[in-house]
C-alpha cells in the first residue's frame, strides 16, 4: 500500500526584524498541537544541530543571510524550511504524523484530551468526516450506526427524554435515562436539536466507568462529548462553505391497516339497528352524528325514502379520508441548510466564526422549522505562550411552527368515541374546502347560526391554514477560559460558562379559528331580546408561554503533565466546579386577543356559565395560567491521574464527589466519591513481541462507578402546592408528595470493561473488541407500603439491575490503491435485567406499562398465551389453570407476572451496522446497512370495543373468523354480539399478536465527488465537494411476515425516505 | 517579550489568587446547596403550609363510596357492570372478593397521615400569640378529619358496634403518628370508637362554633359527626345529646318550595355559593358507578308522595323509565355528597326521641323537616301515638331524605342488629337473583391485599 504523504508546513512570523538576534521556536504536532520534545533540527549553513527541549522549544543565534532548517522526528514526516532571519525571530514548526491512517486519535472527556493510545477506558471518537457522512439538521442523529453500543430507541416518544439514545442498555429505572451531553467543557441542558452540526468538529462517546466517571453523578448512562470547531494557531485563514437541500417523500398514510369504508358503513347500519346512536341522537350536548347515521335517521323518520338514503350512502363507499389527508395535510418535506465559517490564526491568536441557516418545511403542510446560528470563538496567548485566553459566543435562534397537528386533531366527539368516520370529505371535487361533523350535530349548528351565533362549523384544512403557533427558542452560550502555564508541564485553568435559553411559545387562535369560535359560542347566551351575551369575548384566544433557563458553571482546574527519561509519562488533573441552573416558566392566556392592536379583554374566571348547547351544564371559562421555578445546583470535586511507562503500561484513576441541592444535607455530608481505575498494556510495544501479522495489540481493563440523577425524590417530607386554587373553595392547596427519606443517595452504576485493540495484516484490519458488565446499585425504585401508613408506595434507593454486552468494531481496508474499498462492521450486544425490585404489579400492568420485574429486562414484551380460536364460535382462547379457557375475566384476574408468557426484550439486544465505502479518484460512495436483532414487538389488531361502538378500527376486522373452518387461515376472533372488554383485552395482549422485531435495513447511501487544488492546480479554491445522500431506504429483511416496520409497529407511519444534495467547499 | 524565571511564578501567583478567592467565596457560602430545587416544592413548616394541606379537598374531604354501591339505594343496568372497576362490580354483586388496592381504604388513611403531619407540625411551631388562633384551628381540624376518617373506615372494615363484643371485635388500625415505618395493628372496635370520641371531643375545644368556610370543621360538624357516630353505635342518649347541641346552634332548613325543577341539580354549589343545610362539605370518592347510569331503587322513588317536592326536584327520567338522582347536596351532578347537613341531624334526633318514646318531640322534628319538603299547604302533620309507627316512619323518611350520602350502609348495619328491622338485600344481576342476608360477613368489606401483605394485619372473615 502506498501511503499518501502530505507535507504539512506552516511557519508564522511575528513582526519586527532584528538581524542576528536570537531566534526562538517551537516544534509541535500539527494535529494535537502537543509539543514534540527531542526533535532534531539541522541547519547546514551554520553546521548546527539542535534538539527541541521538553516543551518543544529551541533557540539559537543564526549567522547572516537566509538559511534552511531540516527538521526530523521519529514517526513524523521530515520537513525542510527556508527562513529569512531578517523577517522573523520566532518560528513554530508543525510536524505531520508519518502515516495519515495512524494519526494519533485524541479523545476528549470534557476535562482533558487524552491520546487514545494511552487511554484505559472505553472511548469512541467520531471524526468530522464520519459526522458529515449524514445530512441532517441535528447533530445527534449523526451518531446512529457509527458508535458501537449506542442505539436509538426508535418509535418511542417519551417527551421527558432529551434524546432517544441508550448507550449500552439502560442502567436506571426512574432516573434520567439520557446520556449526559457535553458541549466542549460543560453539560448542555438546552434543546440539543438546536446545535448546528456544521459547527461540530468531533464527538467522543464515553462508555465505561474509566472514561465517564470524571462526570460523576451524571455519567451513569454514558457521556457524549461534542467538540466544536475552533481556529488553530498558525493556520492561514480558511473559509468553508456547506449547503444542502434534502427532499423527503410524503408519508404513507396507509401504513397502518384500517377498516375499509364500505365495511365501516355496514357496521354503522348494523349498530344503528341495535340503537347505538340513540344516546347521541337524544343527547343534551347535541353530540354529532355521522352523515350515514343522519341519513338512517332521516329514513327512519320518513323524511327521505329508503332508496334515496341508500343511494346517498352508496356514494360514500368510494371515499377514504386518508386520500384527502394526503392531498391537503401532507406534502413532501424540504430541508435546506446553509453554513459558512471562517477560521484561522497566527502564532498568538486564533479564531473561528460561523453562520448557519436552516429552513425545514415539514411533511405536514404549514409546519416549519427555521434556525439561525452564529458562533464565534477566539483564543489569544500572552506572555510568550504562558497565558491562553479563550472566549466563545454562540447564538442560536430557532422557530418551530406547528400549525398542523396531523390527523390527531381531527376527531369526532360522540358518546361512543372520537374516531372520525373514514368517508369524511375535506374538500369537494373542485378543491373547495368542506366542513366535517365534529363536536355537534349539523342541525344544531344551523339553528345556532340562525340565532345569531358565530359560524360553528369545523373545517379541518381551513384550521391548518388559520393556525399560528410558534415555539421560538433563543439560546446564548458564552465561554471565558483562562489557561496559565505556571512551569513547564504545570498549568492552571479557570473556565466560566454562561448559558441562557429563552423560550417563547405562542398559540394564537384568531376569531376565525374553530377553537375560538367554539369557545365563544359555547359560553354565549341569547336572552329574549335577541341580543347575544358573550362571556368569552369576541376576538382571538391566545396562549403564551415564556421560559428562561440560565446555566452558570465555573471550573478551576490544575493540569500537570511530566515526561522523564523519555519513558515515564504522567498526567494529572484536579479541579473544582460549581453549577447553577435556574429555569422559570410562565404560561398565560388572553381572551379577546387582537394582534393588530395588542389588546385583550378581561373574562370572569370565577363564575359558572350555562353552555349554549346544553344550558343545564355549566362551566367556568378555562384558565390556562401556570408558573414554575426550578433550580439545580451542584458542587463537585474531581481528580484524574494517568501514568504510562515506556508506551507499554498505563494505569489510570479517576474520582469525583458531587453534592447537590436535590437530596439534602445528609447525602452531601457523606461525600462518597464515584471513582474508577484502569490499566492498559500495549503488548505490541514489548521488546519480546514479534507477531508480525499483528503489529498493534493493546489490552485494557477498567473498573469503577458512575452515577445517575433522579430528581423525583428528595430527603424531606415534601408537599407540592398545586397549581392554581381549588375550584370549590377558591383556596390554595397542597399535596404531600414524599414522606421523609433522609437516606437518599445517588444511584450508582458499577462497570467493568475489558477491551482489546488490534491492527493486523499490514494494518489492513483494525478494530476493537470490548466486553462489559454493569450493575445498577441503589437505583431509585418503588416498594409497596401498607396503605394504612398513609402512603401506598415508597420510592427510595431500593432496586438493582445488571447488564452485560459486547461491542465489536472492525475496519478492513479490502482494496487500497487508486481504487479503495473499506468496510466498517459494528456489532453490539446489550442485555440488561432488573435484579431487585420490590413491587409486583397485576398481570395487566406488565402488558400495558413499562413495569420492572425481577429477572427480566426493564423493557420486556409479555402476553397471554394464546390457544387459537374456538372452532365453533371463533372466540379467542387462552389458558386458565393449565386448561384451555374462554373465561377472559378469570384469565386476566389470575394473571401474575409469572404466569404471563414472557416473549422477550422489547428493545434490540443485538445491533450494529455494516458500512462499505468505495472510492476512486475524487469519487466516493458509501452504503450503510444496519441491523437490529433479538427483540419483540406487539402489533395491533382488531379491537371490538371500537368496532361495536362505530369507531371503526383495524383492517383485520375484515379478515376475522366468520364461520367454522375459518380458524384454518385466520387468528382474528369473531365479532361478539355485545362488546366484552375482557375478551378484547385478552386478544389485544395475547401471544398471537407478538412478532419478532429482527430486521436488516439499508439505512442510507452517500455519494460524493471531491476535487482539490492539490490535483487540479487551476482550481480557484482549495477543494470542493458535491454530495448526494439518501436516507431511510428500506428494509432488506425482517423476521415478521406483517407489512409493519418492526421499529415502528404502532406509529402512524415510519420515517419517510429522504434525498439530499449538497456542496461543500473550502476557499 | 522576555520573561525571567522568577517572574513566571509571580504570574502564577497573580493568576492563582483570584481563582482561589473565587473558589473560597462560593464554597464557603453554606446555603448554596440549600436552595429548593423546585419552588412549588414545599417542606411544610408554617401555618400556611399546614393550612394548604388541609385545603386539599380531593383528599381531605372525600368519603368512602363502595358502601353506597353495595347498599340498596341504586341499581345499575347489566351492561354497565362490564365497565366498572372490579372492586365496584364486586361490591354491587356482593362477591366475597378482596381487591389488590382500594381507594376506600387508602384515602381515609391518607387523611389520617395528613392530619398527623399537621398535628406534629403544629406542635413544633413556636408558641406565638399571633398565630394562636390559627394553630388551634389547625389542631381542631386535624383531629376532626382524623376522627372522620377512622369513623368512615370503621363503617366499612369492621363489625358494627355491639357493646357485648366491642372489646374483642377487630377494629381498624389507629395510626396516631405520621411515621410511615410504624407497623399497623388492628385495634378493637371499642378502642376504635373510643379514639374517635376522644379526637372529636378534643377537636371541639379548638374549633370555632361555625365554620368560616364549610370545607373546614367547626363545633357544628363535630356535633353532627358525633350524633351520626353514636347513632351507628345505637347509643341514642349520646346521639340525641349531640343533636341537641347542634340544633341549638343551627336549625336552618331549606324550604324546597324555593327551588325550581329544571332537570338539573336544584341546589347551589354548597362550597362556592353555600347551602343552608350543609355545615361540612364532603364528597364520596368518585366511582365509575356514578357514570354508568345508576338509577334510584324504584322502591324508594315510589315511596315519595305526589306533593313531595323531592320527587320532582331530585329525580329525572333517564329515558328508560328509570330515574336518575340529581339532588346531591354538593350542587354538582356527578359528585355525591359525603358531608354533614342539618336535615340528617333532625332525623337523628327524631329517631332518638322516638326510641325514648318521646313521640311528640320526635314528630315535631319530623314534621318540621317534611313541611319544608312538601308543596306549601299540602303537608298534613303526622300525628300518632304508636311508637313503632313513628319510628318506622322516621326510618323511612331517613331513607328518602339521605339518598347517596353514604349513611345508608351504617343504618343497615345497625338496624340488622334489631330483629324488627332486619333486611335482606337482593337484586337481579344478569338475570340472576343475588342477595345479602342481614349480618352477612360481607357487611364488613375485605381489607385490600396490599394492606394485608404490607402490614400483616388479619383479614376480615369472608
pLDDT, tens digit (0-9, with 9 covering 90-100), for A875-887: 999 999 899 999 9
The answer, yes or no, to whether residue A925 has pLDDT greater than 70, is yes
Q: Is the pLDDT of residue A506 over 50?
A: yes
Closest CA to A200 of A137, A122, A144, A245: A137
- The stretches of B43-85 forming alpha helices (DSSP H) are 47-54, 57-60, 66-70
Quick check: A6 pLDDT over 70? no
Instruction: Assign A1012 to helix, strand or coil.
Output: strand
Kindly report the nearest CA distance between residue B450 and chain A, in angstroms: 6
Interface test with B, best of A384, A788, A978 (most B CBs within 10 A): A788
Q: How many residues does chain A have?
A: 1067
CB A906 within 8 A of CB A995: no
Q: What is the pLDDT of residue A122?
A: 94
> Which of A616, A723, A980 lies at the smallest CB-CB distance from B263?
A616
H or E element in which residue A350 lies: strand A349-361
Q: Domain A23-101 sits in which CATH superfamily?
A: Carboxypeptidase-like, regulatory domain (2.60.40.1120)
Mode of pairing for the β-strands spanning A48-51 and A113-115: unpaired
Close Cβ partners of A531 (under 8 Å, ≥ 6 residues apart): none
Residue B2 has pLDDT above 80, yes or no: no
Q: Mean pLDDT, chain B, as a whole number?
A: 90
The whole-angstrom distance between B16's CA and the closest CA on chain A is 8
Secondary structure letter of residue A46 according to DSSP: G
**Pairing relationship of beta strands A765-784 and A747-760 according to DSSP bridges:** antiparallel
**Closest residue in B to A383 (Cα–Cα):** B1
Q: Report the distance separating Cα A680 and Cα A121, nearest Å.
A: 9
Q: Under a CB-based contact definition with an 8 Å cutoff, are residues A330 and A363 in contact? A: yes
Nearest by CB to A383, which of B3, B22, B319? B3
pLDDT-derived band at B337, boundaries 50, 70, 90:
very high
Cβ proximity of A83 and A69 under 8 Å: yes
Average pLDDT rounded to a whole number, residues B8-17: 52
A382, B8 Cβ separation under 8 angstroms: no
Handedness of CA A21, A24, A30, A31 (dihedral sign): negative
- Determine whether the interchain pair B454/A384 forms a contact, defined as Cβ–Cβ distance below 8 Å: no
A982-1009 average pLDDT score: 95
**What are the Cα distances from residue A406, in Å, to A193, A363, A364, A466?**
22, 10, 7, 14
Q: What is the pLDDT of residues B319-333, one digit of tens each?
A: 788 999 999 999 887
Residue B277 confidence (pLDDT)? 95
Looking at the DSSP bridge assignments, the partners of residue A285 are none
Any B CB within 8 A of A630 CB: yes
Of A384, A631, A791, the CB nearest to B36: A631
Minimal CA separation from A772 to chain B, in Å: 35
Which cell goes with A10? Answer: 506552516
Q: What is the pLDDT of residues B341-396, one digit of tens each?
A: 999 999 999 999 999 999 999 999 999 999 999 999 999 999 999 999 999 999 99
Partner-chain contact B56 A739, CB within 8 Å? no
Q: Which chain A residues in 880-899 lie under 8 Å from chain B, judged by CB atoms?
A: 893
| Residues A1013-1044: tens digit of each pLDDT | 877 888 888 899 999 999 999 999 999 999 99
Quote the cell numbers at residue A192: 440539543
Taking an 8 Å cut-off on Cβ atoms, the answer to whether B19 and A386 are in contact is no
Sequence-distant (6+) residues with CB within 8 A of A15 are none
3-state class (DSSP) for residue A366: coil
Among candidates A733, A788, A791 on the partner chain, residue whose Cβ is nearest the Cβ of B184? A788
Q: Please, are residues B167 and B182 in contact by the beta-carbon 8 Å criterion?
A: no
User: Would you say A173 and A852 are in contact if contact means Cβ atoms under 8 Å apart?
Assistant: yes
- In this prediction, residues A72-98 reach a mean pLDDT of 76
Instruction: Output the CA–CA distances (angstroms, integers) from residue A484 to A388, A591, B18, B109, in the order listed.
Output: 6, 58, 13, 63
Give the helix/strand (H/E) hosting B391: helix B387-401
Give A723's pLDDT tier (boundaries 50, 70, 90): low
Q: Which residue of B has its CA nearest to A842?
A: B100
Contact B184 A789 (CB under 8 A): yes
Closest in B12, B39, B43 to A484, CB measured: B12
Q: Do A719 and B44 touch (CB under 8 A)?
A: yes
pLDDT of residue A4: 31
**Residues in chain B closer than 8 A to A616 (CB atoms):** 262-264
**What residues of A are in contact with residue B281 (Cβ under 8 Å)?**
728
645-684 of A, contacting B, C-beta below 8 A = 659-662, 665, 668
pLDDT for A458 beyond 70: yes
Domain with CATH 2.60.40.1120 in chain A: 23-101
For A991-1022, strand residue ranges (E) read 994-996, 999-1012
Mean pLDDT calculated for residue range A194-222: 92
Q: Average the pLDDT over B54-71 and give the result.
A: 94
Q: Which residues of B touch A791 (CB under 8 A)?
A: 110, 113, 180
In the block, which residue shows the cell 449500552?
A: A168
Q: Which three cell numbers stand for residue B365?
A: 322534628
Q: Which helix (H) or strand (E) holds A1024?
A: strand A1023-1038
For residue A978, pLDDT beyond 50: yes
Chain B within 8 Å of A622 (Cβ-Cβ)? no
Q: Which region among A270-284, A538-552, A929-943, B48-62 has the lowest average model confidence (pLDDT)?
A: A270-284
State yes or no: pLDDT of A98 exceeds 70.
no
- From the list B22, B33, B178, the residue facing A556 with the nearest CB is B22
The pLDDT assigned to A14 comes to: 32
Q: Is a pLDDT exceeding 90 seen at residue A481?
A: yes
Q: Give the pLDDT of residue B432.
A: 92
Is the CB of residue A492 less than 8 Å away from at least one CB of chain B? yes
ipTM, two decimals, is: 0.86
SS3 track for A928-962: EEEEEECCEEECCCCCHHHHCCCCCCCHHHHHCCC
**pLDDT value of residue A444:** 94
CB contact under 8 A, B450 and A784: yes
Q: Give the pLDDT score at A15.
A: 33
- The pLDDT assigned to A670 comes to 66
Of A60-69, A83-92, B180-189, give the range with the top mean pLDDT: B180-189
Distance between CA atoms of residues A373 and A351, nearest Å: 17
Stretch among A67-81, A196-210, A536-550, A609-623 having the lowest mean pLDDT? A67-81
Distance from CA of B34 to the nearest CA of A (A): 6
Q: What's the pLDDT score for residue B173?
A: 97
**Residue A460 pLDDT:** 94
pLDDT in tens, A635-692: 999 999 999 998 899 999 999 998 888 766 666 766 678 999 999 999 998 999 988 8
Side-chain-side CA neighbours of B116 within 13 Å: the count stands at: 22
The answer, yes or no, to whether residue A5 has pLDDT greater than 60, is no
Q: Name the more confident of B179 and A312.
A: A312
Q: Which cell numbers hold the place of A180?
A: 449526559
CA distance linking residue A365 with residue A310, whole number of Å: 36
Q: With bands split at pLDDT 50, 70 and 90, how would you rate the model's confidence at B194? A: very high
* Contact residues on chain B for A714, CB-CB shorter than 8 A: 37, 41
How confident is the model at residue A423, as a pLDDT? 95
Cβ pair B45, A524 in contact under 8 A: no
Nearest C-alpha in A relative to B12? A486
The pLDDT confidence band at residue A704, using thresholds 50, 70 and 90, is very high
- Nearest by CB to A728, from B42, B263, B271: name it: B271
Q: Which residue ranges form the domains of chain B, and what is each CATH number?
A: 47-455 (1.25.40.390)
Cα angle vertex A425, ends A419, A429, to 5°? 170
Interface of A with B in 152-171 (CB under 8 A): none
Whether A241 contacts A355, CB under 8 Å: no
Q: Tell me: pLDDT of B265 over 90.
A: no
Q: What is the DSSP letter of A83?
A: E
Check A788 against B52: CB less than 8 A apart. Answer: no
By residue count, chain B amounts to: 462
pLDDT computed for residue B20 by the predictor: 52
Radius of gyration of chain A from its Cα atoms, rounded to whole angstroms: 34
Count of beta carbons in the 10 Å neighbourhood of residue B273: 10
For residue B404, give Cα distances in angstroms to A521, A545, A768, B270, B300: 35, 43, 72, 16, 12
Helix (H, G, I), strand (E, B) or coil at A446: helix
Residue B29's pLDDT band (boundaries 50, 70, 90)?
low
- Using the beta-carbon criterion (under 8 Å), do A386 and B454 form an inter-chain contact? no
- Provide, as residue numbers in chain B, all residues whose Cβ is less than 8 Å from the Cβ of A784: 450, 453-454
Nearest to A661 among B37, B172, B263 (CB): B37
What pLDDT is stored for residue A17 in this prediction?
38
Q: How would you classify the pairing of strands A23-29 and A90-95? A: parallel
**What is the least distance, in Å, from the CA of A279 to any CA of chain B?**
9
State the average pLDDT for chain A. Answer: 89
Q: Does the beta-carbon distance from A729 to B455 stay under 8 Å?
A: no
Partners of residue B104 in chain A, C-beta under 8 Å: none
pLDDT surpasses 70 at B11: no
pLDDT digits (tens, 9 = 90+) for B133-142: 999 999 999 9
Instruction: Note which residues in 939-998 of chain A have CB less than 8 A from chain B.
Output: 978-981
Are B15 and A980 in contact (CB < 8 Å)? no
Q: Do B114 and A790 touch (CB under 8 A)?
A: yes
Residues in chain A within 8 Å Cβ distance of B326: none
User: Model confidence at A20, in pLDDT bands (50, 70, 90)?
Assistant: low
pTM for the whole thing?
0.79
At A494, which helix (H) or strand (E)?
strand A490-509
Q: Is the pLDDT of residue B28 over 60?
A: no
Q: Which residue of A has its CA nearest to B83?
A: A981
pLDDT (0 to 100) of residue A665: 62
Provide the 3-class DSSP secondary structure of residue B419. helix
Does the pLDDT at position A118 exceed 60?
Answer: yes
Amino acid at each position: 500500500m502506498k501511503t499518501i504523504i502530505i507535507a504539512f508546513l506552516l511557519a508564522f512570523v511575528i513582526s519586527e526584524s532584528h538581524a542576528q538576534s536570537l531566534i526562538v521556536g517551537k516544534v509541535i504536532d500539527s494535529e494535537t498541537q502537543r509539543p514534540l520534545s527531542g526533535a532534531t533540527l539541522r541547519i547546514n549553513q551554520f553546521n548546527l544541530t539542535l534538539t527541541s527541549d521538553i516543551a518543544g522549544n529551541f533557540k539559537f543565534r543564526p549567522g547572516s543571510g537566509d538559511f534552511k532548517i531540516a527538521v526530523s522526528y521519529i514517526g513524523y514526516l521530515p520537513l525542510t524550511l527556508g527562513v529569512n532571519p531578517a523577517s522573523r525571530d520566532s518560528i513554530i514548526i508543525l510536524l505531520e504524523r508519518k502515516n495519515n491512517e495512524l494519526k494519533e486519535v485524541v479523545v476528549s472527556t470534557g476535562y482533558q484530551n487524552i491520546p487514545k493510545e494511552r487511554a484505559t477506558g472505553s472511548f469512541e471518537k467520531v471524526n468530522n468526516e464520519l459526522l458529515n457522512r449524514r445530512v441532517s439538521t441535528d447533530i445527534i442523529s449523526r451518531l446512529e450506526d457509527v458508535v458501537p453500543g449506542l442505539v436509538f430507541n426508535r418509535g418511542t416518544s417519551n417527551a421527558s427524554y432529551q434524546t432517544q439514545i441508550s448507550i449500552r442498555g439502560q442502567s436506571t429505572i426512574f432516573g434520567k435515562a439520557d446520556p449526559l451531553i457535553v458541549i466542549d467543557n460543560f453539560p448542555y441542558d438546552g434543546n440539543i436539536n438546536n446545535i448546528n452540526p456544521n459547527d461540530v468538529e468531533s464527538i467522543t462517546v464515553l462508555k465505561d466507568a474509566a472514561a465517564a466517571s470524571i462526570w460523576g453523578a451524571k455519567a451513569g448512562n454514558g457521556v457524549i462529548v461534542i467538540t466544536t470547531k475552533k481556529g488553530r494557531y498558525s493556520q492561514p485563514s480558511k473559509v468553508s462553505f456547506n449547503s444542502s437541500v434534502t427532499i423527503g417523500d410524503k408519508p404513507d398514510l396507509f401504513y397502518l391497516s384500517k377498516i375499509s369504508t364500505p365495511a365501516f358503513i355496514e357496521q354503522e347500519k348494523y349498530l344503528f339497528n341495535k340503537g347505538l346512536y340513540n344516546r347521541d341522537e337524544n343527547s343534551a350536548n347535541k353530540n354529532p352524528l355521522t352523515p350515514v347515521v343522519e341519513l338512517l335517521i332521516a329514513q327512519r323518520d320518513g323524511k327521505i325514502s329508503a332508496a334515496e338514503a341508500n343511494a346517498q350512502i352508496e356514494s360514500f363507499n368510494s371515499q377514504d379520508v386518508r386520500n384527502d389527508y394526503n392531498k391537503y395535510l401532507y406534502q413532501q418535506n424540504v430541508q435546506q441548510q446553509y453554513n459558512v465559517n471562517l477560521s484561522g490564526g497566527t502564532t498568538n491568536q486564533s479564531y473561528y466564526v460561523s453562520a448557519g441557516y436552516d429552513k425545514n418545511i415539514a411533511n405536514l403542510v404549514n409546519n416549519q422549522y427555521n434556525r439561525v446560528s452564529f458562533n464565534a470563538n477566539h483564543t489569544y496567548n500572552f506572555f510568550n505562550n504562558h497565558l491562553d485566553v479563550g472566549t466563545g459566543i454562540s447564538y442560536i435562534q430557532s422557530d418551530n411552527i406547528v400549525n398542523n397537528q396531523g390527523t390527531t386533531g381531527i376527531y369526532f366527539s360522540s358518546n361512543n368515541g372520537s374516531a372520525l368516520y373514514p368517508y369524511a370529505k375535506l374538500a369537494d371535487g373542485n378543491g373547495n374546502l368542506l366542513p366535517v361533523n365534529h363536536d355537534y350535530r349539523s342541525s344544531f349548528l344551523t339553528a345556532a347560526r340562525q340565532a345569531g351565533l358565530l359560524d360553528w362549523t369545523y373545517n379541518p384544512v381551513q384550521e391548518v391554514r388559520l393556525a399560528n403557533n410558534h415555539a421560538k427558542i433563543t439560546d446564548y452560550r458564552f465561554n471565558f477560559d483562562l489557561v496559565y502555564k505556571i512551569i513547564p508541564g504545570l498549568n492552571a485553568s479557570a473556565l466560566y460558562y454562561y448559558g441562557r435559553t429563552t423560550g417563547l411559545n405562542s398559540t394564537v387562535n384568531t376569531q376565525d379559528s374553530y377553537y375560538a369560535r367554539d369557545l365563544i359560542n359555547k359560553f354565549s347566551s341569547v336572552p329574549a331580546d335577541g341580543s347575544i351575551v358573550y362571556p368569552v369575548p369576541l376576538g382571538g384566544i391566545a396562549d403564551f408561554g415564556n421560559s428562561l433557563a440560565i446555566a452558570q458553571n465555573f471550573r478551576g482546574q490544575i493540569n500537570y503533565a511530566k515526561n522523564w527519561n523519555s519513558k515515564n509519562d504522567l498526567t494529572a488533573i484536579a479541579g473544582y466546579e460549581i453549577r447553577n441552573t435556574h429555569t422559570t416558566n410562565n404560561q398565560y392566556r388572553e381572551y379577546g386577543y387582537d394582534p393588530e392592536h395588542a389588546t385583550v379583554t378581561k373574562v370572569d374566571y370565577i363564575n359558572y356559565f350555562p353552555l349554549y348547547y346544553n344550558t343545564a351544564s355549566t362551566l367556568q371559562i378555562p384558565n390556562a395560567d401556570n408558573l414554575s421555578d426550578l433550580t439545580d445546583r451542584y458542587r463537585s470535586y474531581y481528580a484524574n491521574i494517568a501514568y504510562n511507562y515506556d508506551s507499554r503500561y498505563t494505569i489510570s484513576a479517576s474520582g469525583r464527589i458531587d453534592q447537590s441541592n436535590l437530596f439534602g444535607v445528609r447525602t452531601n455530608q457523606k461525600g462518597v466519591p464515584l471513582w474508577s481505575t484502569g490499566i492498559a498494556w500495549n503488548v505490541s510495544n514489548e521488546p519480546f513481541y514479534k507477531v508480525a501479522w499483528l503489529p498493534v495489540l493493546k489490552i485494557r481493563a477498567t473498573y469503577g462507578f458512575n452515577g445517575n440523577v433522579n430528581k423525583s425524590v428528595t430527603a424531606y417530607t415534601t408537599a407540592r402546592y398545586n397549581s392554581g386554587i381549588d375550584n370549590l373553595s377558591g383556596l390554595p392547596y397542597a399535596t404531600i408528595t414524599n414522606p421523609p427519606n433522609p437516606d437518599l443517595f445517588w444511584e450508582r452504576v458499577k462497570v467493568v470493561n475489558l477491551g482489546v485493540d488490534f491492527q493486523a495484516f499490514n494494518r489492513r484490519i483494525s478494530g476493537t473488541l470490548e466486553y462489559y458488565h454493569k450493575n445498577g446499585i441503589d437505583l431509585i425504585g418503588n416498594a409497596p407500603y401498607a396503605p394504612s401508613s398513609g402512603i401506598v408506595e415508597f420510592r427510595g434507593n431500593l432496586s438493582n439491575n445488571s447488564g452485560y454486552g459486547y461491542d465489536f468494531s472492525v475496519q478492513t481496508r479490502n482494496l487500497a490503491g487508486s481504487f479503495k474499498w473499506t468496510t466498517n462492521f459494528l456489532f453490539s450486544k446489550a442485555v440488561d435485567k432488573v435484579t431487585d425490585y420490590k413491587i409486583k404489579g397485576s398481570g395487566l400492568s406488565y402488558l400495558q406499562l413499562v413495569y420492572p420485574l425481577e429477572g427480566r429486562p426493564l423493557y420486556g414484551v409479555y402476553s397471554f398465551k394464546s390457544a387459537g380460536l374456538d372452532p365453533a364460535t371463533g372466540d379467542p382462547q387462552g389458558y386458565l389453570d393449565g386448561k384451555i379457557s374462554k373465561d377472559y375475566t378469570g384469565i386476566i384476574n389470575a394473571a401474575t407476572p409469572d404466569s404471563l408468557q414472557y416473549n422477550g426484550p422489547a428493545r434490540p439486544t443485538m445491533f450494529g451496522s455494516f458500512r462499505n465505502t468505495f472510492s476512486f479518484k475524487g469519487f466516493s460512495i458509501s452504503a450503510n446497512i444496519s441491523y437490529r436483532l433479538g427483540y419483540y414487538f406487539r402489533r395491533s389488531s382488531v379491537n371490538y370495543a371500537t368496532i361495536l361502538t362505530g369507531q371503526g378500527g383495524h383492517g383485520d376486522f375484515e379478515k376475522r373468523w366468520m364461520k367454522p373452518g375459518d380458524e384454518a387461515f385466520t387468528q382474528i376472533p369473531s365479532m361478539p354480539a355485545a362488546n366484552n372488554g375482557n375478551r378484547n383485552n385478552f386478544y389485544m395482549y395475547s401471544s398471537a399478536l407478538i412478532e419478532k422485531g429482527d430486521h436488516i435495513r439499508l439505512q442510507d447511501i452517500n455519494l460524493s465527488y471531491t476535487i482539490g487544488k492539490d490535483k487540479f492546480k487551476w482550481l480557484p479554491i482549495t477543494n470542493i465537494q458535491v454530495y448526494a445522500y439518501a436516507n431511510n431506504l428500506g428494509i432488506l429483511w425482517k423476521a415478521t411476515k406483517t407489512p409493519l416496520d418492526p421499529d415502528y409497529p404502532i406509529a402512524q407511519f415510519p420515517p419517510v425516505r429522504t434525498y439530499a444534495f449538497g456542496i461543500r467547499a473550502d476557499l | 517579550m522576555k520573561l525571567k524565571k522568577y517572574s513566571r511564578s509571580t504570574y502564577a501567583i497573580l493568576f492563582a489568587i483570584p481563582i482561589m478567592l473565587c473558589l473560597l467565596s462560593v464554597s464557603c457560602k453554606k446555603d448554596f446547596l440549600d436552595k429548593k430545587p423546585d419552588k412549588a416544592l414545599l417542606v411544610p413548616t408554617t401555618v400556611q403550609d399546614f393550612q394548604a394541606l388541609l385545603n386539599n379537598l380531593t383528599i381531605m374531604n372525600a368519603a368512602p363510596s363502595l358502601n353506597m354501591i353495595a347498599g340498596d339505594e341504586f341499581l345499575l343496568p347489566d351492561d354497565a357492570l362490564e365497565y366498572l372497576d372490579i372492586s365496584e362490580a364486586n361490591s354491587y354483586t356482593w362477591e366475597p372478593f378482596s381487591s389488590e388496592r382500594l381507594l376506600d381504604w387508602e384515602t381515609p388513611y391518607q387523611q389520617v397521615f395528613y392530619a398527623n403531619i399537621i398535628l406534629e407540625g403544629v406542635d413544633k411551631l413556636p408558641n406565638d400569640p399571633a398565630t394562636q388562633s390559627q394553630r388551634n384551628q389547625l389542631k381542631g381540624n386535624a383531629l376532626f378529619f382524623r376522627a372522620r376518617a377512622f369513623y368512615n373506615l370503621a363503617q366499612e372494615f369492621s363489625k358494627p358496634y355491639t357493646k357485648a363484643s366491642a372489646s374483642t371485635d377487630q377494629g381498624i388500625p389507629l395510626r396516631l403518628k405520621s411515621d410511615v415505618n410504624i407497623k399497623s395493628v388492628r385495634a378493637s372496635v371499642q378502642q376504635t370508637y373510643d379514639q374517635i370520641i376522644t379526637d372529636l371531643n378534643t377537636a371541639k375545644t379548638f374549633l370555632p362554633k361555625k365554620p368560616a368556610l364549610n370545607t373546614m370543621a367547626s363545633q357544628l360538624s363535630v356535633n353532627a359527626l358525633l350524633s351520626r357516630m353514636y347513632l351507628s353505635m345505637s347509643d341514642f342518649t349520646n346521639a340525641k345529646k349531640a343533636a341537641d347541641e347542634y340544633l341549638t346552634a343551627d336549625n336552618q332548613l331549606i324550604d324546597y318550595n324555593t327551588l325550581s325543577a329544571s332537570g338539573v341539580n336544584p341546589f347551589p354549589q354548597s362550597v362556592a355559593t353555600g347551602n343552608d343545610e350543609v355545615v361540612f362539605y364532603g364528597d364520596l370518592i368518585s366511582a365509575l358507578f356514578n357514570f354508568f347510569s345508576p338509577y334510584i331503587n324504584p322502591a324508594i322513588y315510589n315511596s315519595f308522595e305526589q306533593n313531595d317536592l323531592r320527587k320532582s326536584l331530585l329525580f329525572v327520567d333517564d329515558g328508560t323509565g328509570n330515574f336518575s338522582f340529581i339532588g346531591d347536596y354538593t350542587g354538582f351532578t356527578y359528585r355525591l355528597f359525603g358531608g354533614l347537613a342539618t336535615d340528617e341531624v333532625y332525623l337523628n334526633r327524631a329517631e332518638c326521641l322516638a326510641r325514648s318514646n318521646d313521640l311528640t318531640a320526635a314528630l315535631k322534628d319530623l314534621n318540621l323537616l317534611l313541611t319544608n319538603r312538601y308543596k306549601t299547604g299540602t303537608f298534613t302533620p303526622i300525628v300518632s301515638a304508636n311508637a313503632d309507627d313513628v319510628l318506622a316512619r322516621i326510618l323511612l323518611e331517613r331513607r328518602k331524605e339521605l339518598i347517596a350520602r353514604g349513611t345508608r350502609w351504617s343504618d343497615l348495619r345497625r338496624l340488622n342488629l334489631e330483629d324488627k328491622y332486619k333486611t335482606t338485600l337482593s337484586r337481579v344481576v344478569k338475570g340472576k337473583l343475588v342477595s345479602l342476608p342481614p349480618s352477612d360477613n360481607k357487611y364488613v368489606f375485605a381489607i385490600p391485599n396490599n394492606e394485608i401483605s404490607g402490614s400483616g394485619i388479619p383479614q376480615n372473615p369472608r
